[in-house]
Copies of this chain bind each other. A is one copy, B any other.
């Protein structure tokens, strides 16, 4: 409902050339990059265009990023940060029920993805694999994992989640949230999402299927 969206938030902090000698160019490039990815899709991120919009020469970004890939890594990192904020909020809103927390997390994750589809694609485009090259990117994604696991552990203590390995259950939960989000933004769940409130409905169905199981009752 209040997922962060970058469209339109650009012009406020961009052509303010006074700041570039004070270390703000790095941040500016990241935010311009997020904006461009949101608009035109991830594959076409244009480093020269980023510099142009930021009001610097096309060589300036190389003061702050080793190459284009490093900028994309920084953008992805910011994406994980934004997603973590949404998740944190969703978790704290339903503090009294683990099942409700799981549903709320699913909705927040999906909502973030449909609000920032290209950014989410970029966040899961293979850069997290290069852990030595982008350690902080891996760290922030691990923070997400830990947030989910905390919910699981507390739910287990209260007796609402079964007492298997919390690491493994966390994998299952994240997998379901992520798969649901991705398939929705790729239009693969069209038969269902076309309906009224289809996206919220199918998110709920997916989380409930995981919570309750598919087996015949």
Contacts and interface: CB of A to CB of B under 8 A. Distances in A.
7 contacts: A42-B125, A118-B126, A126-B186, A161-B215, A163-B216, A179-B182, A212-B213
Contact of A128 (B188, B211, B215): B188
A163 B183 CA distance: 23
B126 A160 contact: no
A175 B175 CA distance: 8
A76 to B, nearest CB: 11
Given A99-B215, A175-B176, 6 more contacts: A159-B216, A164-B205, A168-B192, A168-B205, A174-B189, A175-B206
Nearest to A68: B43
A126 B68 CA distance: 21
**For this complex, into which size category does the number of interface residues on chain A fall?**
35 or more
B128 A117 contact: no
B186 A129 contact: yes
A202 B126 contact: no
Contact of A162 (B121, B179, B216): B216
A81 interface: no
A187 interface: yes
A25 B190 CA distance: 34
A116 interface: no
Contacts of A168: 192, 202, 205
Contact of A172 (B169, B182, B209, B217): B209
Given A126-B121, A211-B214, A214-B211, A189 B171 contact: yes
A38 interface: no
A129 B185 CA distance: 8
Contact of A176 (B162, B179, B185, B186): B179
Interface string A115-141: 001100100111011010000001001
